[in-house]
Structure 1
């Protein structure tokens, strides 16, 4: 994980963990998929880090993916959790130590379920950061 990716993901977790309505509805936020966890929970995927440097500075374009897992009968609770994730991140993230977040953009959401697994909702963001 690049320094930028780790730093921005820490800010992401901090912002989500500080959003009361979201934390009231989920059981935990994990860095990666846990072996066992009570539903619903959020797992961060290790995202992609691309070069976004310029002549006089180092930059990274980061792909941030959050997967919400839920075992509900319907996707109703999953939809509520996904909406709360978007609410928590509506105003972006604070700049992490050593980096300035230049842009923080919502990319997409997606919900999937197979016949033998719980619901999964994907929420993706893109952040562009410059090293300071």
Structure 2
């Protein structure tokens, strides 16, 4: 499996395994859904670049999780965004196939209005991965 796929699956597993988030959203998607009831989570495709060393493959990139919700105010969404951030922060360091997380840093989080009574929270991290073996 590609490093993209390994990272995407690790993010999905982390979000799905975090009870406060998984119990509150209708679904966790790894691609934009055709139809979905709000609130739901969407894992954006990672943007990765080379971050290797002389003797290890490596990638540095940006990962993002978006939570879509509806309501007059984003009160519930604030809690869901916090739960998503907690889930990603607790993600296991060892991802599989020799890949591990060397560092994971939250860069930004933001909630914006998407339309009448529609909101989206976006949390973005910088991730650095190394592959041993």
- After TM superposition, is the score higher than 0.5? yes
> How is 1:1-132 mapped onto 2 (pairs within 5 angstroms)?
3-98=2-97, 99-116=99-116, 118-132=118-132
Deviations 1:74-108 (A, max 9, x none): 10011010011122223343412120211111111
Alpha-carbon deviation of 1:25?
1.0
Equivalent residue of 2:95, what SS? coil
- 4+ long deviations beyond 4 Å: none
State whether residues 46 and 61 of structure 2, in contact with CA within 8 Å, keep that contact through their aligned partners in structure 1: yes
**In the comparison of the two structures, how many residue pairs are matched?**
131
Q: Which runs of 5+ in 2 are unaligned?
A: none
Alpha-carbon deviation of 1:116?
4.7
Q: Superposition RMSD on alpha carbons, in Å?
A: 1.7
Equivalent residue of 2:55, what SS? coil
Relative to total residues, which structure has the larger strand share, 1 or 2? 2
Q: Which runs of 5+ in 1 are unaligned?
A: none
